[in-house]
Amino acid sequence: MKVSQLLPILRSRTQADLLALLYLNPTKEFSVTEVARRVGSSVPGVQQEIVKLLKAGFIHDRREGNSRLVSAEKDSIIFKPLSDLLAVTHGPLPVLKCELAPIAGIEAAYIYGSWAARYSGVTGGVPNDVDVLVVGVADLDEIQSAAERAEVILQREVNVRRVSPKSWKEGEGAFLKTIKAGPLVTLDLSEAAL
């Protein structure tokens, strides 16, 4: 089980990603299967975390037919402080997916740099910013507006760099070679905006 290097007080990255998904989308409910898909974990692994978090009063669940739906426990005294903590640690993934998904012309997007390194398990200090690479022909003003909205939620600078699909594929220049050599966290924008 991988421990979260972004918030090492949590048991695992799965637990952190699950809490971030629920707490940063407090008006939504997710099925266990959808949670597993979105956090990149197995259904049994997610179910184990859900049981622990339910017992602790961190999340809420209900049945709808054969599905178990889970959501953040919004009436808990810990809701606001935990939401804030998750936003500044595990927030970049769900927040940037939500902000970038509606923008036309993005073929791929990645988080790189110190945040991506911590998310990938590399130990180190708390990242001061979030570096994002957008591949495509999306409008730079739209991308920058999305980054500015994300900065408010994440409480840190979001640096976005756009490159053409040709440049990305060919890996031209020292910048792209460096990016490709380090940890990259893919922002799957094909999912519906959170």
Residue 122 phi/psi, 5° resolution?
-80, 125
Note whether 160 and 147 are within 8 A (CB).
yes
Structure tokens at 73: 């426990």
Question: Residue 156 is which amino acid?
Answer: R
DSSP annotation of 103 reads -
Q: What is the pLDDT of residues 49-108, one digit of tens each?
A: 999 899 888 999 999 999 999 999 999 898 999 999 898 888 999 899 889 999 999 999
| Residue 29: strand, helix, or coil | coil
Which residue carries 């980054």 as its tokens? 147
The domains of the chain are located at 13-89, 93-186
Can 13-89 and 93-186 be said to share one CATH topology? no
Assigned fold of 13-89: Arc Repressor Mutant, subunit A (1.10.10)
Q: What is the dotted CATH code of the domain comprising 93-186?
A: 3.30.460.10
pLDDT of residue 38: 86
Residue 132 has pLDDT above 90, yes or no: yes
